[in-house]
Structure 1
């Protein structure tokens, strides 16, 4: 990962980056006042370049200016927009891509650098992310960034928080991007164990198929029954001393989804390695909470299964008995995520008894139909919980939109032969899936939130701090939200 450090002093770097912002409707971009100890001639030269460079100051604009024989010998102008955290995040990502052939750059930051520093650092780290299984043809990339501030020590905690947040987001991206030829439930559980090793304050339990059967996790066993690589339930617990709030995070962990006997068409199947992005996000957020020392207890449940086609796969029309005893009728084996989530949520309510319950899942294509590629759908009956999550998600640079839990759709869940119908052939797919999950929240119904994040879990192109592939959606927002609960 890109090395970032805080520096101060008067030594001129070889490559200096100066931020610029919009100057107004009829004026060019202007330089942002910074802690740069550069000589007046450098700033004067930069100011003179602005009109010729045709910079508006919009976040993510980048221009390079060569200065042969001078110091610094390369000057970069970086648009930071209005200067809020997300604008700096976008600017950092754009700079990481534009300067990929540089070895080391120095960025001058404003004296009140807190917001700027966090956004910029996250943008640099996330925008420079690449997932590759081979080094063949790999191009050189930016290795180090110095952030020039007046008092480095004053901003050390902010940089550390940004670095941890980015590292956990990268972990979620790596887990999600990993091909399913490698990734299966046992492998995922092993990755969590490796990430949590050496942390005595983190407690990990992994249930294997025999334990799942003995304890009644029928949904997880049904979905994983068609694979030669059996299901797992990962339970990871961060329990800091003095914590007064206990949050359970549940993440859908389908390591590959063929659709089962209700098999998907090939175009819909080719990216199904991403169907465990919810599990990756909640695991990474819990590890991040521990790394940051957040004073809130966090338990993550990651129900992991591979939904495959075989003689032992569950069938359309099967009745599934979930943890706790509720039964569901499934007439579509491609609606499998809600079945494993139901088990984990019922277990959380009955055994862990948390204060708050939040689940993340790449659950429905209807999420993308309703909200497009960059927004998750948020469902909750608790206005304060919904508002807190939405505010944290937005502050972290992610997006979500609150959707209704329409009670007049509950009738769609009626089954003639089971307690619930898990996959009714009606409309409002994302809403109905959320209503199904609500049936497993027990007395936590008014303290539960569901995030259907299928669409924003994957990016088809470069956008802001996102690169093509897994986004790690949810890690940043969850860490911001958890940080408000101490």
Structure 2
């Protein structure tokens, strides 16, 4: 449990006074248990400053409990109300990181919302420790990257299209040394054979792009390629979605947002691993130039796909990006993140992503990073006999089998494009956890930025 003093005076939070620190320490010491994670008790202090004290529960005291407490506290106080946080001695650095992440993530508000960003001044009294400083900086970068991913996904499709998304990333990269950006436009995509991206984006008035963002710290032992699905809006194409199925499809580029934000975060943290993020960007629209069910598409690797459902578009753009990564980038590890299937939520619910990999060690390390970050995932199988579901009479494969196991078969489709990287690849189907219907612990209503925090935890160990 920890204590927070909330003071509505205009003078700001300032240092925690000695008498208040003693009072809070006494309250904390007399508490019988650490409290349910995220539970907050408000104790009024009439005629005194601060005017109230909040006791926040951290449960067993793990990082997740501290994160939940931080998010609950920031939602309990009024906007722009300064906070003074008093921690007991001996709080570990990872707990302080969780607390700080919770405060920042729970306080998120979409940058273009009518009220604008929320501002709260916070003072934390936690003793002197260099480890605390590093923990706070890591939390700040992680939260900022997650905010960016959320902002990108929350932006309406009336603003957000492939060109706009690429422009945002170019502007962000320009503020950080060690980053390079390449944006392939339609002419270059056609010349180099990115048939899947061109097909999916062919029905829109805003043409597709392939964004390549690279962080290179110099001599690095590993090269990680992150691929994120970047469908800036998905109508379903000619296989048009229902009204309810379409209304949140501005979030269908959440995978691209996560891999881009994580790469920018890697540069901010100066992580000693080379990272390349690939974001195939397209708007899947309905028009006379839209691709059709039954079309045969030539992918980047020269193989062919029969498109049997134009609403199975994400795997077509990812296939091009994965094939390009294997052929040209010489990665040590390839990860892809995608809001790929509704079957993900049917199997695992709203808070858990599906994890696929042939590499047991890679799967374990990703799951551990997700657990630490508060982004849960569950590993599902890649059975070889299900590959028969992809059979096509007129192409090397078809895109959308009518039989079951939708998320598994989508992952198997992607596995066709990994070549000799198949055993060093993982796929995260994160459609369900990419969006929150309401505030929930460290999630704010709307886009969650899912995957950004996991990647920033995992990359240093990749």
Structure 1 range deviating more: 328-337 or 154-163: 154-163
Cα distance change, pair 141–445 in 1 and its aligned pair in 2 (3 A): closer
Partner of residue 31, structure 1: none
TM-score of the superposed pair, with normalisation by structure 2: 0.93
Partner of residue 415, structure 2: 438
CA distance in 2, matches of 1:157, 1:396: 17
Partner of residue 24, structure 1: none
What's the secondary structure of 1:206's corresponding residue? strand
Given that 1:374 and 1:399 are in contact with CA atoms closer than 8 Å, whether structure 2 keeps it comes out as yes
Query: For 2:102, which of 123, 144, 148 is the aligned residue?
Result: 123
Counterparts of 1:67-146 in structure 2 under 5 Å? 67-101=45-79, 103-110=81-88, 111-131=90-110, 133-135=112-114, 138=115, 143-146=120-123
Given that 1:226 and 1:311 are in contact with CA atoms closer than 8 Å, whether structure 2 keeps it comes out as yes
Given that 1:109 and 1:116 are in contact with CA atoms closer than 8 Å, whether structure 2 keeps it comes out as no
Deviations 1:209-261 (A, max 9, x none): 00000000000000000001000000011111121100000000000000000
Given that 1:103 and 1:141 are in contact with CA atoms closer than 8 Å, whether structure 2 keeps it comes out as no
Partner of residue 146, structure 2: 169
Query: For 1:339, which of 311, 316, 332 is the aligned residue?
Result: 316
Given that 2:109 and 2:118 are in contact with CA atoms closer than 8 Å, whether structure 1 keeps it comes out as no
CA distance in 1, matches of 2:23, 2:199: 70
Residues paired across the two proteins, number: 451
CA distance in 1, matches of 2:333, 2:190: 27
CA distance in 1, matches of 2:106, 2:17: 24
Structure 1 runs not aligned, ≥5 long: 1-11, 17-33
Given that 1:327 and 1:420 are in contact with CA atoms closer than 8 Å, whether structure 2 keeps it comes out as yes
Partner of residue 385, structure 1: 362
Deviations 1:42-89 (A, max 9, x none): 5446667x68xxx87101111111222345442111111111001000
Given that 2:34 and 2:60 are in contact with CA atoms closer than 8 Å, whether structure 1 keeps it comes out as no
Cα distance change, pair 145–41 in 1 and its aligned pair in 2 (3 A): closer
Cα distance change, pair 102–132 in 1 and its aligned pair in 2 (3 A): closer
Cα distance change, pair 207–424 in 1 and its aligned pair in 2 (3 A): same
Post-superposition shift, 1:112?
A: 3.1
Counterparts of 1:257-336 in structure 2 under 5 Å? 257-336=234-313
RMSD: 2.2
Partner of residue 223, structure 1: 200
Structure 1 range deviating more: 242-251 or 111-120: 111-120
Cα distance change, pair 14–320 in 1 and its aligned pair in 2 (3 A): closer
Partner of residue 44, structure 2: 66
CA distance in 2, matches of 1:43, 1:209: 62
CA distance in 1, matches of 2:117, 2:261: 28
Partner of residue 212, structure 1: 189
Deviations 1:335-367 (A, max 9, x none): 000000000000000011100000000000000
1:198 partnered with 2:175: yes
Structure 2 runs not aligned, ≥5 long: 9-15
Post-superposition shift, 1:38?
A: 4.1
Post-superposition shift, 1:39?
A: 5.9
Post-superposition shift, 1:113?
A: 3.3
Deviations 1:280-324 (A, max 9, x none): 000001001111010000000000000001110000000000002
Counterparts of 1:356-435 in structure 2 under 5 Å? 356-435=333-412
Given that 1:15 and 1:75 are in contact with CA atoms closer than 8 Å, whether structure 2 keeps it comes out as no
CA distance in 2, matches of 1:36, 1:81: 27
Post-superposition shift, 1:413?
A: 0.7
Post-superposition shift, 1:461?
A: 1.3
What's the secondary structure of 2:205's corresponding residue? coil
Cα distance change, pair 202–45 in 1 and its aligned pair in 2 (3 A): closer
Given that 2:6 and 2:77 are in contact with CA atoms closer than 8 Å, whether structure 1 keeps it comes out as no
Given that 2:337 and 2:430 are in contact with CA atoms closer than 8 Å, whether structure 1 keeps it comes out as yes
Given that 1:363 and 1:454 are in contact with CA atoms closer than 8 Å, whether structure 2 keeps it comes out as yes
CA distance in 2, matches of 1:340, 1:296: 26
Cα distance change, pair 39–95 in 1 and its aligned pair in 2 (3 A): closer
What's the secondary structure of 1:166's corresponding residue? helix
Given that 2:147 and 2:449 are in contact with CA atoms closer than 8 Å, whether structure 1 keeps it comes out as yes
What's the secondary structure of 1:332's corresponding residue? coil
Cα distance change, pair 398–102 in 1 and its aligned pair in 2 (3 A): same
Given that 2:280 and 2:317 are in contact with CA atoms closer than 8 Å, whether structure 1 keeps it comes out as yes
